[in-house]
Amino acid sequence: MKLVKHLLDNKGRHVISVAPDSSVLDAIKIMADKAIGSLVVMQDDKLLGIMSERDYARKVIIKGRSSESTHVSEIMTPDVFTASSSHTVNECMNLMTEKKIRHLPVVEDNQVIGMISIGDLVEAIISDQQEEIEQLEHYISG
């Protein structure tokens, strides 16, 4: 089974973050520009929270707030579930399914070293299954 470390080795460890005092509009522009669904909220190197498209939809759009005058800290999710590089893909999938989340910051020694999404996990699981199918086909065909 693949580990989070393997996912990060393939996709990279670049973390896109936003400061808590940034406007929500600036954060949404970053997400749109980078084609991502969430940002970690950081002050210096400290993880303070996570802001997702879901936070934006539920806490800004539906409530009629202004994206320009609302700060990220006002809508972010402060209690962040995280993974470490030694977690398995299945452990992360279980956590994300149970908590109904789509993104997990990867943290080692209190430092955010990457971010994984539900899509990354699904891709890894499909890849593992395809490898297993090919091995079984090879075994059966001799």
pLDDT in tens, 28-81: 999 999 999 999 999 999 999 999 999 999 999 999 999 999 999 999 999 999
DSSP-derived pairing of the beta strands 17-18 and 38-43: parallel
Mean pLDDT, the chain, integer: 94
pLDDT of residue 110: 92
Which H helix or E strand runs over 116? strand 111-117
Which residue type is seen at 48? Answer: L
Q: What is the DSSP letter of 21?
A: T
Q: Two tokens at 71?
A: 């700060």
pLDDT value of residue 79? 94
Instruction: Determine the pLDDT at residue 128.
Output: 81
Long-range contacts of 61-64 (CB under 8 A, 24+ apart): none
CB 112 within 8 A of CB 3: no
CA distance 88 to 111: 19
Give the separation between CA 115 and CA 12, rounded to whole angstroms.
Answer: 9
Q: Is the pLDDT of residue 142 over 80?
A: no
pTM for this prediction: 0.87
Mean pLDDT of 5-22: 95
pLDDT tier at 135 (50, 70, 90 boundaries)?
Answer: confident
CA of residue 62 relative to chain centroid, distance: 23
